[in-house]
Amino acid sequence: MAWLLGHVRTSFHHSATPISLPTKTGHSISLLKLCEEATPPCQLNPLLFNGHLQTFWTAVKAQDVPITYKRRIFEAEDPVFAGTFAVDFVVPNSTRTEKDASLPERTTYYSEQEFNALGSDDSKPMLVTLHGLSGGSHELYLRHVIAPLANEEGGWEVCVINSRGCAMSKITTGVLYNARATWDMRQMVKWLRKKFPNRPLFGLGFSLGANILTNYLGEEGKRCELSGSVVCSNPWNLEAGSLALQRTWLGLEVYSKTMGGNMKKLFETHVDQIAKNPRIDVERVRKVKYLHEFDRYLQGPTWGYPTEGAYYRDASSSDSLLAVRTPLLAINAEDDPIAVNEAIPYEEFKQNPYAVLCTTSVGGHLSWFEWGGGRWFVKPAVNFLNKMAKEIDIEAISDQRMADANGGVGPKSEGSYFEPMRRKLHIPR
């Protein structure tokens, strides 16, 4: 009867002792309590009563959420990850822009004068956003969250890092992005910290971008410059997710085939540059049908992984979660057909006091459509970020995590040698 009205069960998964967050009023609140307060009841469109229907509905673009961007192309500073990447900064919608056919809608380049003028001592909260597989700053799911934060009332500054080759950006070397591609995020955070020294920085990631963001948080650990983050529809365990997609007809012939097709389109857009990599068999890539095949014949050879499984295991963020030292809210739907429930690291959430997972019984992948077209996940994501930025004493949290000398989750047990961020892919330095 509850579902006839669209009511969906929400559950929280967390450590037995979540961190205590000091507030600006001199009190404290547990991370769990803050996440619970940020999360309203979930009431979805009762006609979209399972994850497949919710996910399919993302193809129906009935709404427009106007966001205006100015783009800047950055040159990678690390020679190991040489190349360029595009970052889109949100500007007021009233900003006059002339349509540029080489860029997504409502996006233009910064002039040199405009870009050189960037920088401020203000203390506005700033959000760094990562999109999903083959997406970009134009994605509707992303704009739904950005809009209430970046408007005049919200008071946030926002930028979106476009994965290399995405959102009509160019690939300038053989270095592509993958599920472990944290290098552009790292460079951008350093740049923002230098340009805006007083702004608290926050992270927001969707799907593959959520996996990348979680990996970044784990790699940075207690040194992380971000004060809080939200990840939505993180696939977490990429191998488990890939095998789940291959088990069913819908998973293989609809989801995997669609995602593989999107990546092939991206490949063809940049094939002249990618073909310069001697390890890539261009004709073999052109024959693939499914996402795991694309990863087998492109991502594997590009990075030196012998199989797509080796790549998935190395790039998954489920272990990275254990090393996160930034307050983190994760949102997943238990019926997500892409970021599947069996891949969610429930036990790892119980081990990390810095992270809370909110799951819903229905919601699909980056969907959670309400009656009328809104997306429920926007509410907990925006509420959490606003609470962290406006109610929590960020500097006190930074002091608190730096005092954690272990660098792990709680006290290490005798004889424990597990290192969650030890990767198999060795990058020479």
Find out whether 31 and 327 touch, Cβ atoms under 8 Å: yes
Q: Which helix (H) or strand (E) is 219 found in, with range?
A: helix 208-220
From 131, 295, 336, 367, active-site residue: 336
CA pair distance 59, 65, nearest whole angstrom: 15
User: Number of C-alpha atoms within 13 angstroms, CB side, residue 90?
Assistant: 27
Q: Is 207 a catalytic residue?
A: yes
DSSP letters of 275-327?
A: TTSTT--HHHHHT--SHHHHIIIIIHHHHT-SSHHHHHHHH-STTGGGG--S-
How far, in whole angstroms, is CA 373 from its chain's centroid? 22
Nearest to 169 by CA among 135, 145, 200, 146: 135
How far, in whole angstroms, is CA 349 from its chain's centroid? 18
CA pair distance 332, 340, nearest whole angstrom: 9
CA pair distance 148, 145, nearest whole angstrom: 6
Nearest to 12 by CA among 31, 25, 29: 31
Q: Which helix (H) or strand (E) is 206 found in, with range?
A: strand 201-206
**3-class secondary-structure state, position 128:** strand
From 229, 233, 365, 367, active-site residue: 365
Q: Is 336 a catalytic residue?
A: yes
From 207, 227, 229, 316, active-site residue: 207
Q: Is 13 a catalytic residue?
A: no
Residue 145's DSSP bridge partners are none
Nearest to 168 by CA among 270, 294, 96: 270
| Token couple for 112 | 């040199």
- In total, the chain counts a number of residues equal to 429
**For residue 142, with 0-12 CB atoms within 10 Å meaning exposed, 13-18 middle and 19 or more buried, which class applies?**
buried
**For residue 64, with 0-12 CB atoms within 10 Å meaning exposed, 13-18 middle and 19 or more buried, which class applies?**
exposed
User: Number of C-alpha atoms within 13 angstroms, CB side, residue 287?
Assistant: 7
What letter would DSSP give residue 5? G
Q: Residues with catalytic annotation?
A: 207, 336, 365
